[in-house]
């Protein structure tokens, strides 16, 4: 009997460890031989803990399972049971996806190198080793891959800049400081398929001439930190990291660094300061990190998903990856669906799907059963989209044209009870709390923003033009995206939901 129980943090928060212990205890009580695999999550959070049984027909899913359900599952011989969902691969949520980056997540044992290789792992690295630096760079450029951390900058161009820079030492830095509300793709891939990130970073090193890498992680992700540290140790022990990667004679090694959890350290220059042991404040640009980054040396700073997408590009080819998507948004994007939804979780799909399809069909509408009022895309600094904009294709340029952000592809849904004035105030408050204090528009503007929204809440509609002007100043004058993007949720709330800012609203209350 082979049973899979996720070790993913979301599954553990919902009782996966207790379920795993109950399965082991019940199997021992019945004298049944058991192989228990702690896999990653399949991304269907509303079904967690999702337990899978290996059968001749494939893996059969049961969920959500509690420890109290375990004796009944054994009693039913893991067949006819109310929690039985059928073959995992035939569940509609998975069948509708195009899983490239997350192809192995939830399927393999995260820390089993043999399992990783049996499912296509390191095929991309083998191919990259046989290529020149110029050929590796061209493959990434041809794939159309853009930064999945929010900025959407072409990954291959960034790598090319670092590759062409002259320096005695270069670095690959993975930005794993996933701080946006409603996002969890980085955590899921690090906990569920860590070797794909290691493989992607190694290929980046081969492409640029960097021999050293760092993964900068959040202290709030202890499970991911534990898995990544062990995965790096295993990879190094098997010659996949070190002075001669896979016996190629080309060096690349890496280590895990844990930050204290400042939101602003998700910004690349603030992250680099923190990585150097300094206070996490934003650096002025230029110089760009690609030329003067970590310790003043040329540095690639890429998001987890950007780097984790590299192996499949080299495994299947740039043309294969580029065939997915729409316009200048190529490949797939892992949507992280959260908030007031019936079905929350990770859904990987090619760029181009509309918000309406995502919210109504995939997420199933609101958990409360009430109408959807707004969807915030791109984290706490993303714009609020009303139903009127739900036909917008999920792509970088299309969202920018609607005054929105794809960001890290976090999607938070709100029903019609949400007060958008309060949401606008929250955006300013969040910025005020998380600001590093380096620039005045962010440090002072966010505080003035809270005060101005409070004036509007008291019925002073004359303060609305002041709020608009303040947002324009923050957007154009802030050093980084924290202050520069805070106006997106504020102005979208004001523009699309003006009734929530009307004086009669306060009077009625």
The reported pLDDT for the residue numbered 490 is 96
304 and 174 co-located in one domain: yes
What is the per-residue pLDDT for 150? Answer: 75
Query: At which of 388, 415, 442 does a domain end?
Result: 415
Within-domain flag for 101: no
Residue 147 resides in a domain = yes
106 within a domain of the structure (yes/no): no
Last residue of a domain, one of 36, 62, 95: 95
- Whether 104 is in a domain gets the answer no
Q: What is the CATH number of the domain that holds 493?
A: 1.20.1440.230
Q: What is the mean pLDDT of the chain?
A: 95
Boundary of a domain, candidates 288, 321, 354: 321
For residues 87 and 150, state if they share a domain: no
Strands annotated E in 368-426: 372-377, 384-386, 410-415
Find residue 125's DSSP bridge partners. Answer: none
Whether residue 30 is found in the same domain as residue 117? no
Percent of the chain with pLDDT over 90: 92
Q: Is residue 56 part of a domain?
A: yes
Residue of higher predicted confidence among 492 and 151: 492
Q: From the CB of residue 400, how many other CB atoms can be counted at a distance below 10 Å?
A: 12
Judged by DSSP in three states, 440 sits in: helix
Q: Give the distance between the most distant pair of CA atoms in the chain.
A: 75
Instruction: Collect all residues with Cβ–Cβ distance below 8 Å to 489 and sequence separation of at least 6.
Output: 376, 380, 381, 382, 383, 384, 423, 424, 427
Do 404 and 438 reside in the same domain of the chain?
Answer: no
Q: Is 144 found in the same domain as 291?
A: yes
Per-residue pLDDT tens digits for 160-213: 999 999 999 999 999 999 988 899 999 999 999 999 999 999 999 999 999 999
Question: 218 and 162: one domain?
Answer: yes
pLDDT (0 to 100) of residue 503: 65
226 lies in some domain: yes
Does the residue 339 lie in any domain? yes
The residue segments making up the domain with residue 27 are 2-95
What residues contact residue 279 under an 8 Å CB cut-off, 6+ apart?
Answer: 273, 436
- Residues 133-144: tens digit of each pLDDT: 999 999 999 999
pLDDT of residue 472: 94
Query: What CATH number is attached to the domain comprising 406?
Result: 3.10.20.600
* CATH number for the domain that contains residue 276: 3.40.50.11540
pTM here is 0.94
Examine the domain organization and report whether 171 and 260 are in the same domain. Answer: yes
424 and 370 assigned to the same domain: no
Tally of domains within the chain? 4
Mean pLDDT of 10-14: 98
Q: Which of 212, 216, 214, 207 is nearest to 158 (CA)?
A: 207
157 and 237 together in one domain: yes
Cα of first residue to Cα of last residue in the chain, in angstroms, is 60
Burial of 389 (0-12, 13-18, 19+ CB in 10 A): buried
- Per the listing, tokens 């509690």 go with 66
Same domain, 334 and 406: yes
In a domain, 100, yes or no: no
Note whether 346 and 370 are same-domain residues.
Answer: yes
- pLDDT classification of 481: cutoffs 50, 70, 90: confident
Average pLDDT rounded to a whole number, residues 376-391: 94
Q: Are residues 187 and 254 in the same domain?
A: yes
Whole-number pLDDT of residue 506: 45
């Amino acid at each position: 009997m082979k049973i899979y129980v996720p070790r993913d943090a979301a599954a553990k928060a919902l009782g996966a460890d207790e379920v795993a212990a109950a399965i082991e205890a019940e199997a021992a009580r019945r004298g049944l031989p058991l192989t228990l695999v702690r896999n990653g999550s399949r991304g269907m959070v509303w079904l967690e803990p999702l337990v899978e049984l290996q059968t001749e027909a494939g893996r059969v899913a049961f969920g959500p399972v509690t420890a109290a359900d375990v004796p009944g599952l054994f009693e039913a011989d893991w067949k006819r049971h109310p929690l039985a969902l059928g073959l995992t691969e035939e569940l509609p949520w998975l069948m509708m996806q195009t899983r490239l980056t997350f192809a192995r997540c939830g399927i393999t044992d995260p820390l089993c190198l043999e399992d990783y290789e049996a499912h296509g792992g390191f095929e991309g690295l083998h191919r990259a080793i046989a290529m020149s630096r110029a050929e590796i760079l061209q493959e990434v450029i041809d794939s159309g891959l853009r930064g999945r951390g929010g900025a959407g900058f072409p990954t291959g161009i960034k790598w090319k800049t670092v590759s062409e820079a002259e320096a005695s030492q270069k670095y690959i830095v993975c930005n794993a400081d996933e701080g946006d509300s409603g996002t969890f793709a980085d955590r899921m891939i690090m906990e569920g398929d860590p070797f794909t990130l290691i493989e992607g970073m190694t290929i980046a090193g081969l492409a640029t001439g960097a021999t050293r890498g760092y993964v900068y992680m959040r202290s709030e992700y202890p499970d991911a930190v534990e898995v990544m540290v062990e995965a790096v140790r295993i990879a190094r022990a098997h010659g996949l990291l070190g002075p001669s990667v896979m016996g190629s004679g080309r060096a690349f090694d890496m280590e895990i660094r844990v930050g204290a959890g400042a939101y602003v350290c998700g910004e690349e220059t603030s992250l680099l300061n923190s990585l150097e042991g300094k206070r996490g404040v934003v650096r002025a640009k230029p110089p760009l990190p690609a030329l003067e980054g970590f310790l003043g040396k040329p540095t690639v700073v890429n998001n987890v998903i950007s780097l984790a997408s590299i192996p499949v590009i080299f495994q299947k080819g740039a043309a294969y990856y580029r065939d997915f998507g729409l316009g200048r948004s190529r490949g797939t994007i892992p949507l992280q669906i959260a908030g007031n939804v019936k079905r929350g979780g990770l859904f990987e799909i090619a760029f181009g799907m509309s918000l309406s399809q995502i919210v109504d069909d995939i997420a199933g509408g609101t958990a409360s059963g009430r109408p959807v009022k707004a969807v915030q895309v791109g984290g706490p600094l993303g714009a609020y989209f009303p139903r009127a904009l739900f036909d917008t294709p999920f792509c970088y340029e299309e969202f920018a044209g609607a005054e929105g952000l794809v960001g890290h592809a976090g999607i938070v849904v709100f029903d019609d009870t949400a007060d958008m004035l309060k949401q606008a105030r929250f955006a300013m408050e969040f910025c005020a709390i998380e600001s590093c204090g380096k620039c005045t528009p962010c440090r002072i503007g966010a505080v003035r923003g809270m005060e101005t929204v409070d004036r509007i809440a008291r019925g002073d509609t004359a303060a609305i033009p002041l709020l608009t002007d303040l947002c324009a100043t923050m957007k154009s004058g802030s050093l980084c995206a924290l202050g520069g993007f805070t106006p997106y949720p504020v102005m979208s709330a004001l523009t699309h939901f003006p009734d929530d800012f009307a004086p009669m609203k306060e009077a009625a209350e």
